[in-house]
Amino acid sequence: MKRTIAHMADGRELIYFDRRDDADRSAIDQRELPPRPVASELRYDPLTEEWVAMAGHRQTRTFLPPADECPLCPSAPGRSTEIPASSYDVVVFENRFPSFSTHLGSYADAGGLSEVRPGVGRCEVVCFTSDHASSFSMLSDDQVELVMEAWADRTAELSEISGVEQVFCFENRGAEIGITLAHPHGQIYAYPYVTPRTRQHLAAAAKRPGLFAGVLAAERAGERVVAANEHWTAFVPAAARYPFEVHLYPHRQVPDLAALSQEERAAFGPVYTRVLRALDGLFGVVMPYVAAWHQAPVRQGRDLAYLHMELFSIRRAPGKLKYLAGSESAMGAFVNDVLPEEAARLLRSQVDH
């Protein structure tokens, strides 16, 4: 793998990940870009003990442009994009409209009981392929492995930024999820705090040693396994919140993507893309989904955490979506319309169908 660092016209960093060592990455961003926005403002909610980022500059971010104006495609004569090169394998760059940043401004007291501080961190975009019409499910095993290398690289490097407490790699796919760009891509958030969901996981694991490994062992022995190989198992969890939800665990407990062995990274794609294709095959339509990597925080709970991916779709039937309405949105109390055992059976029926 060849890793090449470049910079955009406004100073943002861009990193190419190539399979070939002779890839030419000398193209320069010639655009005239506005100044970069300052980092968001974090406000603390004393009732939930959670931080909320106020990032008004994100209101102006690019929204569902036509394919011939996609900012994530390679640049072409007469049309410059976020990627100066005329082609690429995998590329990562700093988000133009970040929720968190090291480019700080001034921050005033919000009043009341809410503490205010800068949203220090970093947000990156990960382009999985230069092919606008592709999707993660269509990537070759080699291409998925290259994406894994990029994720691992960024996890390790972003963890070194002062003030960053957790690194989160994820993909939002589908208009129903609320994507703003259709090109196959994901994002990485380097948070200045440990997220609420991760704090819940670590608290549960602290009470029950070996909790994650126990969950994996129980699921591997049961009826909700969807796909598996020597290093990974994909299963529908017993208490799935979403109609079609799959968790993917490596068989070895590691804290984050950077800690995976080369064999484990290579083995992920063959299982994951089978699951994605099974989702698309369920109703004969492209399934919207969120794919979220749960990683250990940078400085705490690393012995308790267990790297895994949570993949879920809000589609519950042809033409029907699961909306997070009153109970889910206001109370955080989920009601699932599809039994996990039935969801697993349906997904298995589509694996390599």
Give the Cα separation of 155 and 253 in Å (integer).
17
Give the Cα separation of 283 and 320 in Å (integer).
11
Q: What single-letter DSSP state applies at residue 74?
A: B
Kind of pairing, strands 289-294 and 166-173? antiparallel
CA distances (Å), origin 221, targets 171, 310, 322: 29, 19, 29
Q: Considering 57, 103, 132, 185, which one is annotated as catalytic? A: 185
Provide the strand spans (E) within 162-265.
166-173, 185-191, 225-228, 232-235, 244-250
Structure tokens at 181: 């760009």
What are the φ and ψ backbone dihedral angles of 52, each rounded to 5 degrees? Answer: -125, 130
| Run of H or E residues at 205 | helix 196-207
Query: Is 185 designated active site?
Result: yes
Contact 164, 120 (CB under 8 A): yes
**Residues annotated catalytic, as ranges:** 185
